[in-house]
Amino acid sequence: MRSCKKCPLSQGRILAVPGEGPEGAHILLLGEAPGRFEDRTGRPFVGQAGKLLDKALEEAGLRRDEVFITSVVKCRPPNNREPKHEEIESCRAYLNRQIEALKPNVVVALGRVAFAALTGKKGGITRGKVSDLGDMKLVTTYHPAVALHGRPTWFKYIVKDLKRASKLSQ
């Protein structure tokens, strides 16, 4: 992943961001794409949204080091724009291999881009929805950036959904 050149996103990246977490993680958190801080460090969710995600995990009774965190695409889109369909498809094999290797009990889709990438369903999300994703459960919630930019009261829903994911993972 770190040396991938499958799509134009590789040309503008500093570092690819494959994801991080323990091999035996029961929960996989799936975001949209790396941002500026992730691109610089090669680590997922380390910017402002990441700090909020860390706080939500803590309030949900989870630790960052016990979940696996990754994104639909592994390189930062220019100006933090939403990843294009072709870019998502270029990274799909990486994401599929991560899920196959980890075999998490629960995948948490952080926002509509992650939800669409997993299910093929376009449009908005139904927050808090639990559905089957093969042998795993899929929990859909808001991307933490939503609580940073305009909807701070939605943070409590992210915490609630992470608590649900934690219970389902056991």
Which domains, and CATH codes, for the chain? Answer: 9-168 (3.40.470.10)
Q: What is the DSSP letter of 78?
A: G
CB of 110 within 8 A of CB of 144? yes
CA distance 97 to 76: 20
Distance (Å, rounded) from C-alpha 144 to C-alpha 139?
A: 14
Averaged pLDDT for residues 11-35: 96
pLDDT, residue 151, reads: 85
Q: Residue 113 — left, alpha, or beta (φ > 0 → left; ψ -120 to 50 → alpha)?
A: alpha
Using pLDDT thresholds of 50, 70 and 90, give the confidence band for residue 148: confident
Q: What is the pLDDT of residues 58-71, one digit of tens each?
A: 999 999 999 999 99
Burial status of residue 40 (CB atoms within 10 A of its CB: 0-12, 13-18, 19 or more) = middle
Q: How far is 143 from 108, CA to CA, in rounded Å? A: 10
